[in-house]
Amino acid sequence: MKIKLFKQKTFPTVPTISGCLLIVAVFTLGFYGTITTCGLFLSKNKPVSASVLVVEGWAPDYALVNAAHEFWDGHYALLVVTGGPLENGMFLSEYKTWAQVAGATFKKLGIDTNALVVLPSPKVRADRTYAAACQVRAWVQRSPGPITSINLFSVGAHTRRSGLLYRQALGKNVMVGTICCADKEYDVRKWWTSSQGFRTVADECIAYFYARFFFFVH
């Protein structure tokens, strides 16, 4: 008995050289469009009507200055600062968390202490943004008055992921808007032209994909 390892098959339709070039061009343009816009996609700026401004305490000083102006110009009632333990310099500083550092900075900038809420988050091995969001959730639950919306102030390509994780933590009863402060370390429209921009946006693309499709609320 003869065993056949191959058989002849006729394909009814195959692309011509021009067709192949067109397919390659479409995929190339699509890839280029995705690359050039993902920085802007991650830097989501979509505020909502809210009386509470939540600021991620790890933000650099220029971002905290912008957050202070957002607080004043937006006529917010409260400024909430989040952040976990310092990664360096903790033993040399009177402040042990990014929330405390940013809170002290806001006081120096002139934010009324009665309007300032500092919410340090515990040390965690992963999902630090979600851990900070959980602290905000606990604060919202114990607040005497109802809080139905907040604006989250973040920096650059981190903004969209932060907004996603805060929405997951706070649930449907609290609307979360996002305010993005431009990252001065790179041009978001040409992020791939600098090492800092490439590292930041590439890392945030991966982190957002994980948070969007593989992170489960706990």
The domain segmentation of the chain, as residue ranges, is 44-185
3 state DSSP class of 57: coil
Task: Return the higher-pLDDT residue of 35 and 141.
Answer: 141
| pLDDT digit string, tens, across residues 66-90 | 999 999 999 999 999 999 999 887 7
- When mean pLDDT is compared across 55-59, 107-111, 148-152, 210-214, the lowest value belongs to 210-214
Q: How far is CA 195 from the centre of its chain?
A: 19
Q: Please report which helix (H) or strand (E) contains residue 165, including its range.
A: helix 159-170
Pick the CATH number of 44-185 from 3.40.50.620, 3.30.465.10, 1.20.120.1810, 3.40.50.150: 3.40.50.620
- The answer to whether residues 180 and 204 touch, using CB atoms and an 8 Å cutoff, is no
- Using a cut of 0.75, tell me whether the model's pTM lies above it: yes
Question: Does 139 score more than 70 pLDDT?
Answer: yes
